[in-house]
Structure 1
Amino acid sequence: MTTAPAPTLILWDIDRTLLYVGDFDRQVYREAFADVVGRPAAVFPARGTGMTMPLAIQGFLRDNGVAEEDIADFTRRMIEQLPTRLSGHRAAIRERGILMPGAVEALRAVHEHPDLIPTVVTGNLRSSALIKLTTLGLDRFLDAALGGYSSDDPHRPALVAIAQRNAHRRHGAVFTRANTVIIGDSLEDVRTGIEGGARVIGVASGTTTPEQLTRAGADIVLPGLKDVPGLMAAIASGGA
């Protein structure tokens, strides 16, 4: 009797891997900060770090001189506002947002492969992630319900296990490092895979260089997503 091959869970990062919304994330941070704190922010988070949104907001508040005793409450209040504020920029994101080169073709190839299960693991809140994906038309290539989001856990490596459990409940297979792959552009994506239990395909489409991704421990590093056969071969390679 022939045993069907075990499926592979593909965990896509979103920002700078699949799409780029420019300064809209910073804009909603700016709007929420002014509303919650009562004054404009002067310092903003670094771009392209891959940090989860709750941790980025905590650092944002501290960098702007918010008292430590107010951090937890202000973080909660800002998080409550961010998806609604981002949704208010949908039309501008649709007009000015960017699909990373090769993203649609790569997503389609993974989506259509019978042994691959595509979802996301991202530092975005679930609602914010879905706003970005739906606004730029990428949600059709992903089973977003299986994903791991910073609204599930602010510790990004923990999101791998969340997605693996979700996929197990849906598909019945057991997902481990052997059949889970993260595709992302940042050092946080690499750390997430190493600590969370997934192989990592680094994509040098963001602010992190191929050399940095390699030194951080990515199993395979690609210059981008335009070489779809190369990406599919990397997924199938088992990290060798």
Structure 2
Amino acid sequence: MILVLWDIDRTLVYTGDIDRLVYRETFTSVVGRPPTALPARGTGVTMPLAVRELLRVNQVPERSVATLADRIVAELPDRLAGHRELLATEGVIMPGAVDALTAVHQAERLIPTVVTGNLRGSAETKLSELGLIGYLDTTIGGYASDDSHRPALVRIAQDRAATKHGAQFDRDNTMIVGDSLEDVRTGLEGGARVIGVASGTTTEEQLRAAGADHVLPDLGSTRTLLRLIGQVRAS
């Protein structure tokens, strides 16, 4: 069996400014004033780390950052859930994502789940509203709500998959599919091979230079994707 760890944002879906709207609303609710700056786009950084940076760039005193960050993180999933209709109408499924998810989901020896910088509640809301959650076993995924250090999420997902499927998972049979430099770093440091997909803000050249095992321009070829995933044990 091969564990396939999908990234979500800009790999499977694009939710435009909805995440930024949620950051803005939650910051305002917790801090008591609107932010003047928001997290950078498309970095793949986990939400807890993005929230801490959000507080710092908006001149929140360092002594208050940890407490306020915890409050914001706790509120983010419910805030996003309050915009379900907006996600359903303005969220976009990335080109090729449905066919790619379908192919991996139907392949007998592949186990599809997620490793994401999203909190679990936020991840499941996005996937659900855009009709993708049925292609993934989200119960064995790794989320920013498990650990803010993204590479640690690989081991978390591997352990959950091992418990459920009675098999061991490591770098030899785990593949990340993602668009960002953080996805590559997550695999290199966390113990998984990486298929970089240049569907986000990171180019094919940047993904290769960062150490991705394979790089695709997009998810347009399910045959190529399945072939590369199948090379995990052979390589």
- What TM-score does the superposition give when structure 2 sets the normalisation length? 0.98
2:87 counterpart residue number: 93
Consecutive unaligned residues of structure 1, counting only runs of 5 or more, are 1-6
Give per-residue Cα distances to partners, 1:184-233, cap 9 Å, x unaligned.
Answer: 00000000000000000000000000000000000000001011101111
Give the % identical residues. 61
1:66 maps to amino acid = V
| CA distance in structure 2 between the partners assigned to 1:175 and 1:182 by the alignment | 13
1:105 maps to amino acid = D
Secondary structure of the residue aligned to 1:237 is helix
State the aligned residue count.
234
| CA distance in structure 2 between the partners assigned to 1:87 and 1:36 by the alignment | 17
| CA distance in structure 1 between the partners assigned to 2:154 and 2:209 by the alignment | 21
1:149 deviation in Å? 0.1
1:163 counterpart residue number: 157
Give per-residue Cα distances to partners, 1:101-140, cap 9 Å, x unaligned.
Answer: 0000000000000000000000000000000000001000
1:32 maps to amino acid = T
| CA distance in structure 1 between the partners assigned to 2:133 and 2:26 by the alignment | 26
1:192 counterpart residue number: 186
Secondary structure of the residue aligned to 2:42 is coil
| CA distance in structure 2 between the partners assigned to 1:73 and 1:36 by the alignment | 10
24, 37, 52: which one aligns with 1:43: 37
172, 186, 194: which one aligns with 1:178: 172
1:98 maps to amino acid = V
**Aligned 1:75-90 pairs, distance under 5 A:** 75-90=69-84
1:237 deviation in Å? 1.8
| CA distance in structure 1 between the partners assigned to 2:15 and 2:100 by the alignment | 19
1:92 deviation in Å? 1.0
| CA distance in structure 1 between the partners assigned to 2:222 and 2:111 by the alignment | 17
1:176 deviation in Å? 0.7
1:221 matches 2:215 = yes
- What TM-score does the superposition give when structure 1 sets the normalisation length? 0.96
1:4 counterpart residue number: none
129, 134, 151: which one aligns with 2:128: 134
Consecutive unaligned residues of structure 2, counting only runs of 5 or more, are none
Moved over 3 A (4+): none
1:230 counterpart residue number: 224
1:161 deviation in Å? 0.1
2:99 maps to amino acid = E
